[in-house]
């Protein structure tokens, strides 16, 4: 039977590359997108390539939207083999930590942190039904306390209160889910894609979206002997 996957924020950037990469392995992939028209355009591109990709309207920051999407997928599928929590935002790279408003910080957390928790919880019954599901949390190099305090790391020069702390927290969430879900055959890992050229950073990265998607795809396809509760990049396990 064909395996199924869901990628949140899948209509552009790294998410789009992950959708394409998973579909190329023969999976049936649902592209989560909050904007229907943009999602439809992105799906059309991949379907023209002969890939099995379908749109799922999904705003990870909206509880009703997530629950509705989960109901739609439950009606269509008996199980879900892969969930990639890719949706994320970076709202401000200028404001110093002491001046970031709590309102703006909450908005970032609503997507980057709570969105991943919300989606994982909503689709959990489908993931459990798989028997060997894989959940990937799209983290960041700034999600590593080790790297952001290491002066030799490129991430040490980044000091974004809301974005950085949301990714550090997401790594902790990854460990929590991994511990709970391991008995169900579900492996949960966080990945950092590297410095990728995306709209998130005004296309200032050095890697292509395809290169940034590689680790997420690898962890989505990890076998029964693969890791869980880890943090990985292109060069292997990353420090917390």
List, by residue number, the catalytic residues: 163, 167
Q: How far is CA 29 from the centre of its chain?
A: 14
Distances (CA, A) of 125 to 76, 77, 83, 137: 14, 11, 12, 18
On whether the CB atoms of residues 111 and 40 are closer than 8 A, the answer is no
75 membership: H or E segment, kind and range: helix 63-76
- Among all chains, which residue has been given the structure tokens 């395996």? 3
Report residue 140: phi and psi, to 5°. Answer: -160, 160
202: left (phi over 0), alpha (psi -120 to 50) or beta: left
Q: How many other CB atoms sit within 10 Å of the CB of residue 179?
A: 12
Per DSSP bridges, beta strands 236-237 and 231-233 are: antiparallel
Q: What span, in angstroms and rounded, lies between the C-alpha atoms of 222 and 229? A: 13
């Amino acid at each position: 039977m064909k395996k199924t996957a869901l990628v949140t924020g899948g209509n552009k950037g790294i998410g789009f590359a992950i959708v394409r990469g998973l579909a190329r392995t023969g999976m049936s992939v649902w592209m989560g997108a909050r904007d229907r028209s943009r999602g439809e355009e992105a799906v059309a591109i991949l379907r023209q390539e002969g890939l099995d990709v379908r749109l799922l309207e999904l705003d990870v920051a909206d509880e009703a939207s997530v629950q509705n999407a989960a109901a739609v997928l439950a009606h269509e599928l008996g199980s879900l083999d892969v969930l990639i929590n890719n949706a994320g935002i970076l709202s401000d790279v200028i404001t110093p930590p002491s001046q970031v408003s709590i309102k703006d910080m909450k908005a970032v957390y609503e997507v980057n942190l709570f969105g991943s928790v919300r989606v994982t919880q909503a689709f959990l019954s489908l993931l459990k039904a798989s028997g060997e599901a894989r959940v990937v949390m799209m983290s960041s190099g700034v999600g590593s306390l080790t790297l952001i305090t290491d002066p030799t790391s490129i991430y040490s020069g980044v000091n974004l209160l809301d974005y950085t702390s949301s990714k550090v927290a997401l790594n902790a969430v990854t460990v929590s889910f991994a511990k709970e879900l391991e008995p169900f055959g579900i492996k949960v890992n966080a990945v950092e894609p590297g410095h990728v050229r995306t709209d998130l950073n005004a296309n200032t990265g050095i890697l292509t979206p395809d290169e940034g998607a590689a680790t997420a795809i690898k962890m989505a396809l990890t076998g029964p002997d693969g890791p869980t509760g880890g943090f990985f990049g292109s060069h292997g396990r990353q420090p917390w």
